[in-house]
Amino acid sequence: MTARKRRWPKVDQNSGIEDAALLILEWLAEQGINAMIRVDAERLAEGLPPWTFAVSGGPLSGGIRVDGVSAGQCLSFALAHLRDAGVEVPF
């Protein structure tokens, strides 16, 4: 198996991915995947990416955690990581 280069997705600020966040979380739960998105005020105050998306369980062999500076960026990164793990989220 050849290793893929990790490429960060381009974030489209007008894509409205934040509007689909609850639908994405619900779809993941229907697949048996535990999922959450959160914002951390302490990380924001420290100048760190305050948004975190985490998933585990279901068909995933391990957990996935991604951080981002905005909800949209965090979700975009998460969807890319889920795709790499073989989970094609239909949003």
The structure's pTM equals: 0.78
Q: How far is CA 48 from CA 11, 52, 66, 76, in A?
A: 18, 11, 13, 18
CA distance 11 to 36: 20
SS3 29: helix
Instruction: Please say whether the beta carbons of 81 and 87 come within 8 A.
Output: no
CA distance 22 to 29: 11
Q: What is the pLDDT along the chain (91 residues), one digit of tens a residue?
A: 344 455 545 555 566 777 889 999 999 999 999 999 999 999 999 999 999 999 999 999 999 999 999 999 999 999 999 999 999 998 7
